[in-house]
Amino acid sequence: MKITWNWLSQYVDLQGLTPQQVAEDLTNAGIPVESLAPVAAGVENVVVGHVKSAEQHPNADRLRVCTVAVGAAEDLTIVCGAANVAAGQRVPVALVGARLPQGPIGKSTLRGVASEGMICSASELGLDVRLLPKDQTTGIFVLPADAPVGESIVEYLELSDMVMELELTPNRSDCLSLRGVAYEVAALYGREVSIKAPELRTPPQDKLPLTVEVATDRCMAYSAQVVSGLSLRPSPLWMQMRLLAVGVRPINNIVDITNYVMFEWGQPLHAFDYNAIAGGHIIVRDAQRDEALVTLDGQTRALEPAMTVIADPEKALGLAGVMGGESSEVTANTRAVVIESALFDPLQTRRTGKRLQLRSEAGTRFEKGIDPAVTLPALARAVELLCEYGGGAIASGPRLAGAALADANTGHDAVRQVAVRAARATAVLGFTVDAGQILSVCERLQFAAREENGTVLVDVPSRRPDIRIEEDLIEEIARLIGYDHIPATMIVGSLTAGGLSNEQQLTRMATDHLIALGMQQVVTYSFVSPTVAERMRLQPDDELSRMIPLLHPLSEERSVLRTMMLPSLLEVAEYNVNRRQLDLRLFEIGTVYLSESLPLQKQPTERRVIAGLLIGQVQAPSPHGESRSVDFFDVKGMVESLLKRIGVDAAAQYTRSRAPFLHGGQSADISAAGSQVGLIGKLHQEACADFGMELTDAFYFELSVEALLPLIRERLHVVELPRFPGTLRDLALVVNRALPVSELLTAVRSVAGPLLDDVRVFDVYTGEHVGIEEKSVALRLSFRSRERTLTDEDLQQPMAAVLDALTIAYGASLRA
């Protein structure tokens, strides 16, 4: 919402205030002033001139030599290149020494004729030419014939008037009018508001009859009056300049007046050509199915019963509150208009506007709600201006219909009574507020109020629909006393222990650990393309293929909720690889969204997943020898250390994974204590290639936070150190090459007896010294007793048991 300082000063006393100060105080009172700037800056020494003659330049076809009176003793000779310059015009003249936004004007000689200044165009004066009619922006800016010769153009066009742009919060729709802002400024400084509503007038007899009928409950008030004898012409220049300043395109006197009154009162108005209304009868009704209307913009609109139309007995004339119809548009031949001032259902207006993708200043105001008290004053004001600036005369009495006007007719504003207790205000705000202060705030707001035992009863006028409950008034009190008056205190009350949940603690610990291992945390979007299912080689019936679609996505690329983290990380990898960042160690603790069925019946399950993706070298390049590529066991080691770090007690099992996006021979499902907690592996070549990494080996892991949580041990004590030395025994066993080593280890643990402390693999060999189908696995068993030092005899039985068991179960033999 834009307003201008001069315009505002018409309705509220601004004596002794500056625009800068008011802008700052409005901002501090909750009406932020987004910008403050003159209508046009940098214009000096430009005056209104009278073109006495315009002769052909002797040496140039396109130039004219003009004699221009500027209110000085001597007329000026000015060479002008504009095609539209003509004798008799009033024009803006930049005198020698003038300043324009583009630069200073000096004396010049054009093709041998000295020019003592310049006749200016609108854009040269710094005006927003996008909003001006074309005939005013091609060539020089021709002023009205009554423009006073010699007057400064800055004064005449009010170019130094300050334009304020207000950034209104949705509750302050009252400030979508000069009237509302005037009340606000008046409240800030305790000033008077002087906005007078003219009376509606009724002629002795109707020259042009009009009747109105409201046949829908989506129109709360409808008022209209006929004005005839109009001549369509530009509106007065001051009105055009003001509309221009607030961002409205001046069109003609009738349209400009409706817009001007809308800015003044906040009430959108519409003018219909009287002759287009069959029988002089207006009906406000719901649109019919299959009804169509050609709107002002020339488009044919298919109407629906959910829309409200203004109609005559034969046809729809316009969409209520949204846009008028072409058939009743005001044209050059229009002599009589019906001016409409009405209250339409905000929701209907919003929905219809959205449905037809029509947004307008009027629509915005209807959507946010209009003060019912201004319907009639706005109508009267428009009629008054049409008579004054359109040459019109009232041709019918005002016609009123609708429920809301029943109240308005009583001559009273609809008011709401809200009570506010001084004690409550004090308790909520944290500084003492007494009834006297509340009464004073109400006076500034021009709300009638009276006190009863510390409670102030406030009559809130209809112009402030945002004030409904006590807290609303407490905000008004705080706002007008000033938020800077609120002290800073600390909460008084019982102490509470702050902290993280177990899950939050786990994710923080995992984050810190992975970062310490050199991993880079990323944050990716939850929306992905539905094509990722196929790109991840998922079967259509895979649960991970069941991605929840958005009803109205912004793009196909981000139209479903992800069920897995991998595509998000691959997208990041692709972005970085394209920028020649080839060593990537990425992780994210992100959310995936899993639904039981589609279409969605209830909220999906949101799972937090720790996911990592690694490509490239294990170490940053250095001059100290060869690095190598990341492999499966680098990543597995990372996962193992992470599980330890976060306190997972149970031993993790790694079994071959069937995940379609992983390499069949280098991938594993990770489980612990009988349930799957994640997976790990080299990516399937196709999955990589699909993200632009054809020749890259990428390794991925993911762990479900939900699955890990119950595995975290509660124990918070250490294990006592052994007092007796342990004994080591190594075994080199030849077994079948396909045998998972984890099975050997499990078997050793189960048969070696209570003295076994630990068993590890320290070498795996394949090659010429063993058979082609075989491998040699070297195990180191560590035995220890808590009571004594072990002897060789102590170990004979356990070692024999291990060897027997492995020979029987896996055909293992001792390596020669």
Site for other proteins in 647-676 (CB under 8 A): none
Helix (H) or strand (E) holding 576: helix 566-577
DSSP letters for 237-249: HHHHHHHHHTT--
At 206, list the tokens: 């109707």
Rounded distance between C-alpha atoms, residue 118 and residue 140, angstroms: 10
Residues 165 to 184: which contact other proteins by CB under 8 A?
Answer: 169-172
Residue whose pair of structure tokens reads 């509606």 in the numeric block: 200
> Do 48 and 143 contact (CB within 8 A), yes or no?
yes
Nearer to other proteins, 71 or 710 (CB): 710
Q: Which is nearer to other proteins, 525 or 762 (CB)?
A: 525
By CB under 8 A, tell whether 56 contacts other proteins.
Answer: no
310-329 binders of other proteins (CB under 8 A): none
- Burial zone of 121 (CB within 10 Å; 0-12 exposed, 13-18 middle, 19+ buried): buried
State how far the Cα of 286 lies from the Cα of 762, in Å rounded to an integer.
85
The single residue listed with the structure tokens 């040496």 is 59
CB of 429 to other proteins, least distance (A): 5
> Strand, coil or helix: what is 627?
coil
Q: Would you say 269 or 570 has its CB closer to other proteins?
A: 570
Quick one: which of 427, 764, 808, 814 contacts other proteins (CB under 8 A)?
Answer: 427
Nearest distance from C-beta of residue 267 to other proteins, angstroms = 19
- The correct pick among 73, 145, 332, 492 for binding other proteins (CB under 8 A) is 492
Size of the site for other proteins (CB under 8 A): 95
Contact set for other proteins, span 174-233 (CB under 8 A): none
Q: Footprint of other proteins on residues 353-392 (CB under 8 A)?
A: 354, 367-368
Q: Quick one: which of 83, 292, 403, 550 contacts other proteins (CB under 8 A)?
A: 550
Q: Kindly tell me which of 302 and 486 has the beta carbon lying closer to other proteins.
A: 486
633 interacts with other proteins by CB under 8 A: no
| CB of 320 closer than 8 Å to CB of 344 | yes
- Examine residue 599 and say whether the peptide bond preceding it is cis (omega within 30 degrees of 0): yes
Find the binder of other proteins among 217, 297, 543, 606 (CB under 8 A): 606
**Window 499 to 538, contacts with other proteins (CB under 8 A):** 499-501, 503-504, 508, 511, 514-527
Backbone φ and ψ of 361, nearest 5°: -55, -40
Give the three-state DSSP class for 301: strand
Q: Taking the complex as a whole, how short is the minimal distance between the CB of residue 232 and other proteins, in angstroms? A: 36
Check: CB of residue 33 under 8 Å from CB of residue 165: yes
Q: Assess 623 for contact with other proteins (CB under 8 A).
A: yes
Q: Is 279 in the site for other proteins (CB under 8 A)?
A: no
Options 67, 619, 676, 685; binder of other proteins; rule CB under 8 A: 619
Contact between 495 and other proteins by CB under 8 A: the answer reads yes
Nearest approach in angstroms of CB 330 to other proteins is 31
Q: Taking CB under 8 A as the rule, does residue 599 contact other proteins?
A: yes
> Of 10-18, 149-157, 181-189, 569-577, which part binds other proteins (CB under 8 A)?
569-577
Residue from 428, 739, 745, 770 binding other proteins (CB under 8 A):
428
Least distance to other proteins from the beta carbon of 465, Å?
A: 13
The minimum distance between CB 564 and other proteins, in angstroms, equals: 16
Which stretch of DSSP H or E encloses residue 428? helix 422-429
Is residue 589 within 8 A of residue 545, CB to CB? The reply is no
Residue type, 618: V
Collapse the DSSP code of 525 into the 3-class scheme (helix H, G, I; strand E, B; otherwise coil) and give the result: coil
Selected from 489, 674, 768, 772, the binder of other proteins by CB under 8 A is 489
For position 292 contacting other proteins by CB under 8 A, the verdict is no
Asked if 558 touches other proteins (CB under 8 A), the answer is: yes
DSSP letter assigned to residue 7:
H
In the complex with other proteins, the residue whose CB is nearer, 380 or 646, is 646
- Estimate to the nearest angstrom the gap between the alpha carbon of 201 and the chain centroid: 46
- Residue ranges in 696-755 that form contacts with other proteins under rule CB under 8 A: none
Nearer to other proteins, 24 or 730 (CB): 24
- The two tokens of residue 244 are 């221009």
* 37 lies in the binding site for other proteins (CB under 8 A): no
Question: DSSP letters along 264-294, please?
Answer: HHS--EEEEEGGGSGGGEEEEEEPPTT-EEE
Cβ atoms of 196 and 384 closer than 8 Å? no
